[in-house]
Amino acid sequence: MTPIDPGALHQRWVHSHEEDRGGEQVFRPASHAFPPSRGRRALDLRPDGTYVESAPGPTDRPEEAGGTWKLAGGALELSASGGATQKLEVVSADPDRLVIRT
């Protein structure tokens, strides 16, 4: 696949779960017109290498946590401040659409 430009990833991505197919999750920029939802995960990938993740909490209130991120071998690596690392395989990255495989 075409190498991913990390610069294209520098924004707040919100899970557009209505567009998911199979094991692939679609994220759209926060400016996208999202319909109401019980909750959405969001990833704010910042140019300084830090990120903030927001996800529905146990009572549906969004909750945030963060750490540092990098692109490594076609995967988005999120290293949480607590020490845990998530690897998300990037299927495609365009300015208005990020697709990852879980």
Partner 1 sequence: MAAPKRRQCGTQQVHERLLEIYPAFRERQNRIEQGIRRDIERGVAQRVARQLITIPVVVHVVYKTAAENISDGQVKSQIVALNRDYGQKNADKSTIPAPWKGLAANPNIQFALAKKDPTGKQTTGITRTKTTRGSFGTGDSVKSKAGGGDPAWPADRYLNLWACTLGGGLLGYAQFPGGPARTDGVVILNTAFGTTGTVQKPFDLGRTATHEVGHWLNLHHIWGDRNDCGGTDYVTDTPNAQLPNYGKPTFPHVSCNNGPNGDMFMDYMDYVDDAAMVMFSAGQVVRMNATLAGPRKKIGR
Residues that bind partner 1 (CB under 8 A): 17-18, 20, 34-41, 53-66, 80-87, 102
Least distance from C-beta 20 to partner 1, angstroms? 8
Nearer to partner 1, 9 or 14 (CB): 14
Q: What is the DSSP letter of 6?
A: G
Nearer to partner 1, 9 or 54 (CB): 54
Least distance from C-beta 29 to partner 1, angstroms? 14
Buried b (16+ CB within 10 A) or exposed e, 66-81: bbebebeeebbebbee
Question: Is residue 45 classed as helix, strand or coil in its secondary structure?
Answer: strand
End-to-end CA distance of the chain: 18
Nearer to partner 1, 92 or 102 (CB): 102
